[in-house]
Amino acid sequence: MESETIVEDKENVQPHCKEDHMDGDKEAILGCSEVVNREEEDIDALVEENMKNVTVATVGNVDSGKSTLVGVLTKGALDDGRGKARAKVFNFSHEAGNGRTSSVAQEIMGFKDSGQQVIVDRLGASTAASRNVMWQQIVQQSRQLVTFHDLCGHEKYLKTTIFGLVGLCPDYAMIVVNANAGFQRMSREHLGIALSLGIPFFFVVTKVDIAPPNVFEENITQLQKIAKSKAVGKTPMMMQTEDDVLAALQDISRGTVCPIFCLSNVTGEGLPLLKLFIQRLPSRLYESGLFKQPSAPAEFHIDDIFNVNGVGIVVGGILRAGSIHSNQQLLLGPDKTGHFRPVLVKTIHYKRVATDSIESGQHSALAIRSLVKKEQLKKNMFRKGMVMVDASLHPKATFEFKAEVVILHHATTIRERYQAMIHCGIIRQCASVKHMSCELLRTGDKAIVTFRFCYHAEYLNLGETILFREGRTKGLGKVVEILDESSLDEHEASGKR
């Protein structure tokens, strides 16, 4: 890392108390000790509290009713059949204009201790300010939260959907199927990605009120065959009663069953069973292997950047390890040159609610400022793949890494110098194949492959899952070795000898 002049922060950092936003009547979980000096029982209590937030990614073919379903579930009002519910979910006006999701939208459901859903008063137009107020009311009144990531269905936005499934680390995938159209090609793509990443999923068949009975039966039979196929290997379960839901919940996190719900967003048929199922879904926060305990060094993966008037740069992302509190110093990077710069976390928002600290597994927004003398952070300094980590990790960026890969689909053969788009957590960059443990690769083949990023060095961890694609070619792998600059020089020197 280049030598940089660092301004020491001379403000007195006072101990902070983190309030329990899930239950206003409870005492503060952390007490008034500093986060870095928490005792083990505090961490255990916090992990238990963290388990009450479940994330569900909504995927499926275009026009299957994903955004409408998310709007009906989270807003507590049925659709009118003309896009009323989905308009409350979209992020941009052009999405509402053509009815097609092109970005990742997030919505939350809250449940009380009694299991009853928290429904706040309608606030009129769906603006950023009204959503902030609504989220704050839901968080304050809820004991349990379910977060939905509404992903894109059109093939044009497949890279955004893959980013949502790989980078946002959902606990479950809800695959929405149109009862009229059946299981279409993009739904197969999304199913294949969920299977590759090991994300448990369930089917939701929408528009059952307008589907002809014979077409509906054919499409349900098709779904059951897909679930039982050798590639999927799950037991399909039709959800018709509460007993069916309770039985499916016991095995869903293990991935042995595939629940199938049939509902209508207009009439409300089948919605109560789906809400009961979603409310009781167990968290997979540490079972998935994507997150480390709150006692580990902090590692925050940035997936969005904002420039807020009067605040400055705000980064949104997910905390994959450790904990972060206000006035904590972290290293931000790697930038375009592969270096990390020190920054200070000013304020933190979790679920659009101000808080003093966050823990591993929580998706949050952090207001930050640079600690480099006379430097001001700007939006153009950020790019996809950047992280904020604790200085104790001594982070380094790398251009090359080795991965153990399996080719899921390729029309011909893969050789050296082949290029593909790499998805690894929040990283999304083109990389070329530099070396392979065999001469060529075809569908179903396995090998150790050395990749080199084409444009920027990235921050990687051993054991991370990678997904690479190029056209309809898809492959899956796991990082087994990270080649830093010193090992690269040795490798090239040995090659010259």
Q: How far apart are CA 488 and CA 129, in angstroms?
A: 50
Residue 125 has pLDDT above 60, yes or no: no
Q: How far apart are CA 31 and CA 33, in angstroms?
A: 6
The percentage of residues in the chain with a pLDDT greater than 70, rounded to a whole number, is 86
Q: What is the pLDDT of residue 131?
A: 82
Q: What is the pLDDT of residue 122?
A: 61
Tens-digit pLDDT profile for residues 66-119: 999 999 999 888 998 888 889 888 888 888 888 889 999 999 999 998 889 998
Q: How far apart are CA 485 and CA 435, in angstroms?
A: 17
453 or 254, which is more confident? 453
491 or 187, which is more confident? 187
Q: How confident is the model at residue 10 (pLDDT cuts 50, 70, 90)?
A: very low
Q: Provide the 8-state DSSP code for 232.
A: T
Question: How confident is the model over 6-12, as a mean pLDDT?
Answer: 38
Q: How far apart are CA 141 and CA 252, in angstroms?
A: 28
- All residues at 6 or more sequence positions from 108 whose CB lies less than 8 Å from its CB, including other chains: 74, 135, 138, 139, 145, 146, 147, 148, 351
29 or 85, which is more confident? 85
3-state secondary structure of 261: strand
By C-alpha distance, which of 221, 186, 229 is closest to 205?
A: 221
Q: What is the pLDDT of residue 248?
A: 94
Residue 485 has pLDDT above 90, yes or no: no
Q: What is the pLDDT of residue 18?
A: 36
By C-alpha distance, which of 280, 85, 273 is closest to 172?
A: 280
User: Domains plus CATH for the chain?
Assistant: 50-279 (3.40.50.300), 291-393 (2.40.30.10), 400-496 (2.40.30.10)
| 125 membership: H or E segment, kind and range | none
Q: How confident is the model at residue 390 (pLDDT cuts 50, 70, 90)?
A: very high
Q: How far apart are CA 97 and CA 93, in angstroms?
A: 6
3-state secondary structure of 67: helix
Tokens encoding 475: 């492959």
Instruction: Specify the pTM.
Output: 0.84
Radius of gyration over alpha carbons of the chain, in Å? Answer: 23
Contact 476, 466 (CB under 8 A): yes
Tens-digit pLDDT profile for residues 306-332: 999 999 999 999 999 999 999 999 999
| Range in 80-94, 113-127, 234-248, 396-410 the model is least confident about | 113-127
By C-alpha distance, which of 439, 431, 441, 434 is closest to 491?
A: 434
Tokens encoding 410: 């390729």
Residue 209 has pLDDT above 80, yes or no: yes
Q: What is the pLDDT of residue 187?
A: 94
| Range in 76-90, 138-152, 211-225, 334-348 the model is least confident about | 76-90
Q: What is the pLDDT of residue 188?
A: 93
The percentage of residues in the chain with a pLDDT greater than 90, rounded to a whole number, is 66
Q: How far apart are CA 315 and CA 381, in angstroms?
A: 12
Q: Provide the 8-state DSSP code for 53.
A: E
Residue 36 has pLDDT above 80, yes or no: no
125 or 67, which is more confident? 67
The residues pairing with 203 across neighbouring beta strands, listed in sequence order, are 175, 260
